Structure 1
């Protein structure tokens, strides 16, 4: 797909990885809708930076992705503002560090919240953008999962299961939305400087880095560049690419 002039909705676009994704797409001439949940000032700052730095149209949009009506309004507002919607990047996520052995700590409330944000939220967004992309005859969806979805690791059982679900949702939606819309997934390993990492204990971060064959965290720019590749591709769909400095081989 020709990216110049396309419009991308990036959820969690004001986060550590989300900002890198926004910048990588804007560099290609993509107009950006920066979706945020709470941090309005930060998201609007990202939009201003994108607009001035890349001479593209960027704007911030608030949305609670666990609210179906709010998601429908978001897609409508973005489409109205930009005139079209070509790309959805599902980057928004929630996690909480709960040891796998602490089943009492993994309350159903925490389980429901993690699933609602990390799995049902992307499902709501995909369903909302699908008719728009089908009508346009072209679309790209990129889900941001985690290596925790491919191996029993990560901040909690709920987080790992939610990301495993997102990876399989990618495969299923690739079938369901073909041939107009291509759906792919990036599964990062440990990333420094993100809200998800901020919720982890220092020993968890050190252990994850030491476990990789390259002995370092994954690179956010590598992940962002892969998102760009998945938006540009014409023949890859239903795939998950791991970027984790060599921890999980699948």
Structure 2
């Protein structure tokens, strides 16, 4: 059974990816930093469905912690053959609030949205290269394509992730490295701002909200599409058209 590691895999898009990969026949390691109850609940759901899963606590912005996490997953489930870099963060700021985009905000968002995927890919590189079809899927955002979003540092950090995806596709080949860039998805990030989120979602061409499961289907498609690498797949219901 191939092993998949999903960072931030207990909630929202990450949880949907964890369940989707399980249903496709993979053992799943679900990493979390604070959401232990959610991660354990996802593990319990997978196990109740006859699958194998573990929850692993790790700060993915800490290089040493990531190395230890991958070693732990390897020891308990086997080598990491599928890596989904889903963990992410934002700090909402008006795009023109240049003073609010402090060094601390930049460092926090670059650490989670750019450096964490880099640390995870590097830590799992030997496992991925040894696999028959090692795969990395990064979860980006249309903010990285449009330059707009919840804050300027967030949009730039996701744009940098697009670049990392393409460069890793070259550096890790024949390991395949791709990215899914969702539009607005109503996850817990929008808690308390659901109405504003739904108003923004009306810009999509398709008359329905994009769900975590929609994104997970795209992730699974990239995992299983053996001719695709270095690509960014937009899942936004036509929001950016």
Q: Distance in 2 between matches of 1:202 and 1:16?
A: 15
Hey, what does 1:210 align to over in structure 2?
Answer: 202
Query: How far did 1:171 drift?
Result: 0.8
2:223 aligns with one of 217, 231, 249: 231
Hey, what does 2:148 align to over in structure 1?
Answer: 153
Q: Secondary structure at the match of 1:146?
A: coil
Q: Is the 8 A contact 1:190 1:197 kept in 2?
A: no
Q: Does 1:85 align with 2:80?
A: yes
Query: How far did 1:39 drift?
Result: 1.6
Q: Distance in 2 between matches of 1:106 and 1:26?
A: 39
2:182 aligns with one of 157, 167, 188: 188
Q: Distance in 2 between matches of 1:125 and 1:196?
A: 23
Q: Is the 8 A contact 1:167 1:240 kept in 2?
A: yes
Q: Distance in 2 between matches of 1:135 and 1:196?
A: 36
Hey, what does 2:16 align to over in structure 1?
Answer: 20
Structure 2, unaligned runs of 5 or more = none
Q: Distance in 2 between matches of 1:162 and 1:81?
A: 32
Aligned length in residues: 241
Query: How far did 1:233 drift?
Result: 1.6
How far does the alpha carbon of each residue in 1:163-209 deviate from its partner, in whole angstroms, 9 at most, with x for none? 11111111111111111x101100000001x23333x8456414421
Hey, what does 2:211 align to over in structure 1?
Answer: 219
Q: Distance in 1 between matches of 2:95 and 2:207?
A: 24
TM-score (norm 2): 0.95
Structure 1, unaligned runs of 5 or more = none
The 5 Å alignment of 1:88-127 reads 88-127=83-122
Q: Is the 8 A contact 1:87 1:139 kept in 2?
A: yes
Q: Distance in 1 between matches of 2:238 and 2:88?
A: 23
2:66 aligns with one of 58, 64, 71: 71
Flag the 1:13–1:68 CA change in 2: closer, same or farther, 3 A: same
Q: Distance in 1 between matches of 2:13 and 2:128?
A: 25
Q: Secondary structure at the match of 1:150?
A: helix
Q: Secondary structure at the match of 2:150?
A: coil
